Every structure is written in structure tokens, then in C-alpha cells.
Amino acid sequence: MPVHRTAFGTGVLAMVLLTGCVAYPPPKVIMANEVTRIEIRRDTRAARPHTHPATFAPETMRALLSGMRIQVQTDRFMGVVNGWSERHPVFTAADLAAIAGPLADALTQAAPNDIVTFYRRVSDGSAGLAFITGGVFVQDGLAYVVMANFWSLPVDAMVPAVPSYMIDPIDQPLLTLGRKFYRLSHAQEQADVHLPEWQERHPGDKTLVVNLALLHPESKPVVPRTSSEPRSKP
């Protein structure tokens, strides 16, 4: 079944143009192919200027991404709460090979009002087509990784009993498809920062904050995801 971009996005764009709102510059594409896209975008949710440009050693970026862990809860509608999934790595070895280098490169080019976004199209026999998307910015020595989608399906954007289109978030990598609740952590617990007060406009439950000074290169390889691990509906 083909994936269509929602008409909602077109309507929002028309409203912006009609109301005379300031138009943001188009994203700068750092890397793009049929399954992966890395861009520098204006961070419209930034609460303050970021510490950009930021320089990452390749091993630091890999340690940041390879250590990310996630638990997913997919339904709180009408008071029904499903339990959290098990804790799993966010990125596989293939994901890291595709995005770690371009993300590090993009952050060296990002301006203080930018965020670097990532889009990864993934699939397997059980989940079919799915998406891993989000963004990264640096603030005062802390790396903020915003996870918008983790193995989210195009159909997740559809509301029951409401006619709509399935969405490919390639143009909106920070848009979460459907009702998703994440619990993020890092394998290097000493580097996992829990801020006493959340001041960012990015959702706190979908943002992992890591102290780069306490982050060390991983000595263990990333374990590939298996068919028993959670997809979009753990």
C-alpha cells in the first residue's frame, strides 16, 4: 500500500502563508538516500540558542547513539494503559553505520538556532515499513537527542473512524506518529542526565540528555535487533 503525505501539512502551510508568518529557511541536506536522511533545520522549538557549531569525535557520536535505550508504551487512550516494553537499543549496527558520521558532520555546520534531524526508513518481515526519526542538538556540554519515532508505522498516524492519509515523516522528522510514549535512558548511567527542571520546548519524555564529558567509547558491539524485540506496538 503506497504511503501518502497528509493533506494536513498542506493546509498548515497555506495558513502560514495567508497569515503572513515568518517563513523559515529550507533544511540543509547533509546526506540523503532511499532510506536515510540527515538535515540541518531551524529549531522552531528552541528555548534558547544552542551551543553550535559542535564538534564530535566519531567515537563520541557512536558512544552517544549506541548507548541509547528505549522503552515504549503505545496506548493511554480512554484510560487504558499498556505496560512498558522491555529496554532495548534504539539503533542497530546498520543504523549507526548510516547516521553516526553524517550527524557528527552536520553538528559542525549547525548554527545556534538549528537542530540536526535524522530520518531512517526501516523494515522487516514482521513490522513491514517503519520509521526511526528525531533530532540532536548540543547545549552547554550536554547532548539532547529527541526521539520522535521508534519503529513507527505509517498507519500509526491514522485516527480510528476518521478518514485520513498515512504519513511518511520525511518532511517532518520531529513529528510523532500516533500515540507514543517513550522512556529513554543510556547504557552509560554516569552520563545519563536527569535535569531537575525541564525548560526545553521539545517533549521531555522523548528527549535523552547526555553529559558528553562523562561519555566514553563503547567497548561492546551493538547487538542487532531480533524479531522478538518490540516494533511500533510492543
The confidence score (pLDDT) of residue 226 equals 43
Q: Would you say residue 219 lies in a domain?
A: no
Q: Would you say residue 52 lies in a domain?
A: yes
Give residue 130's domain range: 7-214
Higher per-residue pLDDT: 194 or 161 = 194
Specify the number of domains making up the chain.
1
Residue 128 confidence (pLDDT) above 90: no
Going by pLDDT thresholds of 50, 70 and 90, the confidence category of residue 35 is: very high
The confidence score (pLDDT) of residue 155 equals 80
Higher per-residue pLDDT: 128 or 187 = 187
pLDDT tens for 6-28 read: 444 444 444 444 444 567 789 99
- Which of 17-26, 102-111, 119-128, 192-201 shows the lowest per-residue confidence on average (mean pLDDT)? 17-26
Laid out side by side, the sheet with 68-73 consists of 88-89, 68-73, 181-186
Measured CA to CA, the distance from residue 126 to residue 14 in angstroms comes to 38
Q: Would you say residue 228 lies in a domain?
A: no
Residue 222 confidence (pLDDT) above 70: no
- Which of 48-57, 129-138, 150-159 shows the lowest per-residue confidence on average (mean pLDDT)? 150-159
What would the grid cell of residue 212 be? 558528553
Measured CA to CA, the distance from residue 212 to residue 143 in angstroms comes to 7
CB-facing half-sphere around the CA of 225: CA atoms within 13 A: 26
pLDDT > 90: what percent of the chain? 61
Measured CA to CA, the distance from residue 142 to residue 232 in angstroms comes to 28
Q: Would you say residue 176 lies in a domain?
A: yes
Going by pLDDT thresholds of 50, 70 and 90, the confidence category of residue 92 is: very high
Compute the average pLDDT of residues 200-206: 94
Close Cβ partners of 227 (under 8 Å, ≥ 6 residues apart)? 124, 125, 126
- Assess contact for 184 and 68: CB atoms under 8 A: yes
What mean pLDDT is reported for the chain?
Answer: 83
Higher per-residue pLDDT: 138 or 21 = 138
Q: Would you say residue 222 lies in a domain?
A: no
Q: Would you say residue 175 lies in a domain?
A: yes
Q: Would you say residue 224 lies in a domain?
A: no
